[in-house]
Amino acid sequence: MRDRQSLWSWRRLLGAVVVPAVMLTVAAGCGISLGATEGETEMFKDLRVEGDFRLGGELHMFLAIEQPYAVDVEVRCDLLDEDAPPTATPEPDATPTPVEIPPLQPTPSNKVADVFQRHVGANPEGGIVDEATPVPEPVEVTFNAPEQAGLYRLRCYTPLDEENEIELTFTVQPILPP
């Protein structure tokens, strides 16, 4: 009789601990996602490139922007060469400059082209993100693939907050003879 009671106690313990743990594990693996989708930001919702990914081929960039802010925002898209060798940063000049000059945003040494640049108008209802109704700004731009085969990254960002960016990498293939 005692063996049956201890067996029953073990089954109850198993039911109380193991079954809920297994259910939590299964629920976590069911594709439930919290927060923004990968690559999505407050302003940038989607970035796609379609077209002829061979040397000099015509490419089409589709960028989905939703402007939640009450101010104009500058948006830029650059094409960067991911295969470019890194360049050394020059040493600063030891002579102080008497006039204060605002720092310039450095141009990446692997920048191939400016694909897009535009000021997106203020959202009249703009304010706190997630409380304003964002104004959709679909962008479609046509540009040519670089003339050199390799891995490239298309990066769209806001210059005043470069953390607010979306990017996509793709490969440009050489044109093979028939």
* DSSP codes of every residue in 128-151: STTTS-PEEEEEEEEEEPPSS-EE
Residue 29 within a domain: no
Residue from 104, 107, 48 nearest 78 by CA:
107
In a domain, 34, yes or no: no
**Which tens digits make up the pLDDT trace of 11-48?**
444 444 433 333 333 333 222 222 234 577 888 999 99
Pairing of strands 150-158, 58-67: unpaired
Q: How many domains does the chain have?
A: 1
Which pTM does this prediction carry?
Answer: 0.64
pLDDT, greater one: 86 or 137: 137
162 occurs within a structural domain: yes
Instruction: Name the residue with higher pLDDT: 79 or 10.
Output: 79
Domain holding 67, by residue range, is: 44-88+107-172
84-102 pLDDT per residue, tens? 776 655 666 666 556 665 5
In a domain, 23, yes or no: no
CA 30 – CA 127 distance, rounded (Å): 35
Residue 126 lies in a domain: yes
Give the length of the chain: 178
Neighbours of 172 (CB within 10 A): 22
| Residue 67 belongs to a domain | yes
pLDDT at 20: 37
- The reported pLDDT for the residue numbered 152 is 95
Does 161 fall in a domain?
Answer: yes
Question: Which residue, among 50, 48, 60, 80, has the nearest Cα to 151 in the 3D structure?
Answer: 80
The pLDDT of residue 49 is above 70 = yes
pLDDT score, position 93 = 62
pLDDT of residue 159 exceeding 80: yes
Q: Hey, CA dihedral for 143, 146, 149, 154, is it positive or negative? A: negative
C-beta separation of 136 from 65 below 8 A:
yes
Please report whether residue 136 resides in a domain: yes
CATH number at residue 160: 2.60.40.10
Using the predicted structure, report yes or no on whether residue 150 has a pLDDT greater than 50. yes
Mean pLDDT of 69-82: 91
